[in-house]
Chains A and B, each alone.
Chain A
């Protein structure tokens, strides 16, 4: 049944589902990254999400679950993936009210907006630069004024997937892929694909 609000067990299930979905796509994400980057994004994001899931499992509150997931992602993986995805979850935690036992659609939007703000502190990339931001920015925007938590995550997943697909036509302006110029067109951005995969898994749990 679609959920109005998310409680701690839902958050834990979301991380478990996201970790599983990312692990299943590890090779594919590495191959995509290998066209423009150095071919290790799948390995890095798998490590980050696996650590996030393990850490979130023992959390005592929603705020704690996102914080420990973020810390684990930042400590247990490497490269920009560790900082970007770690700061996303830590930022979401910052946006969850102290002592909150559930998240409705309004609280979800506030929390994920704080997550996006934290990622923005680490990169200047915006929509159109062929990075994870092409999926993350529209995903968070789509969560605004939704009626239920299930609707928020479903809309976010849809927007993230469209955003990730749009990166195929884009020319990279950040990271290692930037040096390829025109040749970076034709493949999606691996980070954006990961964001889409994570949001789809999140949505799948509560739909």
Chain B
């Protein structure tokens, strides 16, 4: 393993410390592993909180900030934060307006969230969970419980955060976010596995000349292995599955995010993005705008996640609304 690290058990604390120092005008580290805004929003607005393991930087903590998340509850490397730390965050953000808890569908995250929600309910904390499960590698028709939450969580948090910033009620924030949730899908492809930075052990090794479509964000295999294809051919396979999943039709507008997994260059992501835009044009749809960047990484894994979201007036407005998080700033 070739990584610039110190003691493996200090990885999460040290990375959060660094992130908070670098962006100290936007975020700060609250006790333990809770990242919050440097300047909290007023108590009368819905708080939007998310949770997840570390090792995927900049997600999720890099998306705390004005117009986006209020807090990110951080677990250890690739591991969900425990129920007690989620509960501690819910207690801290308890308010009459309520809390929206964004949970990615992974067994550990869902268990911690459900346990924390059960305990929070007993304390009269007003909180609603929104489950992100937009990965289509288990099949377009797979039930939500069998789909994982991938990088599509980030645009969803942007939409939810922007609605919350307007002073909308918890029900309104949830309803706009849930509508967006239903019109987006993600598919991942990997060319190499990665090493777990704590244990140094490899996660899912791929032969040198193969790639795998459907790889999860911890390197879990998804099944669709093939010889390595060109950018255009890979884009075609992935975009066609995604456009079917979100029912992208003639005349539709969409937002496209190409999220690099860690070792795939922005050059490659841009080449794939351009291919996807052309594929959309072929069916008379339009990719209005998007992101080509490392958003939710998987250590040094080579590959990317393609996130396709069908736009309506609401989601277009909220994706472009003002935000000032370390890794997503918009002038609004």
Mark A residues whose CB is within 8 Å of B. Answer: 27, 30-31, 34, 36-40, 42-44, 71, 74-84, 86-87, 122-123, 174-181, 183
Contact = CB atoms under 8 A, between A and B. Distances in A.
B222 A175 contact: no
B12 to A, nearest CB: 9
Given A40-B199, A176-B107, A79 B216 contact: no
Contacts of A183: 221, 223
20 contacts: A34-B203, A38-B203, A42-B199, A43-B76, A71-B84, A74-B82, A74-B84, A76-B82, A77-B79, A79-B79, A79-B108, A80-B80, A80-B111, A83-B111, A84-B111, A174-B107, A176-B218, A176-B220, A180-B223, A183-B221
Contacts of A181: 223
Contacts of A43: 76, 198-199
Contact of B115 (A78, A79, A122): A122
Contacts of B216: 176, 179
Contacts of B221: 179-180, 183
Nearest to B80: A79
Q: Which 5 residue pairs spanning A and B have beta carbons closest together?
A: A79-B79, A78-B79, A80-B108, A79-B108, A82-B82
Contacts of A83: 82-83, 108, 111-112, 115
Contact of A38 (B85, B114, B219, B223): B219
A177 B220 contact: yes
Contact of A77 (B82, B148, B222): B82
Most central of A31, A39, A122 by chain B CB within 10 Å: A39
B303 interface: no
Given A40-B79, A180-B220, A78 B203 contact: no
Most central of A43, A177, A179 by chain B CB within 10 Å: A179
B196 A78 contact: no
Contacts of A76: 82
Nearest to A76: B82
A178 B82 contact: no
A206 B63 CA distance: 52
A82 B112 contact: yes
Contacts of B218: 37-38, 176
B82 A39 contact: no
B138 interface: yes
B80 A78 contact: yes
Contacts of B202: 34, 39
Contacts of B219: 38
Given A74-B83, A79-B108, A176-B107, A40 B223 contact: no
A40 B198 CA distance: 8
Nearest to A34: B201
A30 to B, nearest CB: 5
Given A176-B106, A176-B216, A179-B137, A40 B78 contact: yes
B155 interface: no
Nearest to A180: B221
A199 B111 CA distance: 23
B112 A39 contact: no
Interface in B129-164: 137-138, 146, 148
B62 interface: no
A37 B106 CA distance: 12
A80 B222 CA distance: 21
B82 to A, nearest CB: 4
B53 interface: yes
Given A44-B79, A179-B214, 15 more contacts: A30-B196, A30-B199, A34-B199, A37-B220, A39-B203, A40-B199, A78-B75, A78-B80, A78-B82, A79-B82, A80-B80, A80-B107, A83-B111, A84-B111, A87-B115
Contacts of B84: 71, 74-75
Contacts of A42: 199
Nearest to B135: A179
Contacts of A180: 220-221, 223
Most central of A36, A40, A86, A175 by chain B CB within 10 Å: A40
A71 B85 CA distance: 12
A179 B223 contact: yes
Most central of B76, B85, B202, B216 by chain A CB within 10 Å: B76
B189 interface: no
B98 interface: no
Contacts of B223: 179-181, 183
Interface in B93-142: 106-108, 111-112, 114-115, 137-138
A83 B53 CA distance: 14
B106 to A, nearest CB: 7
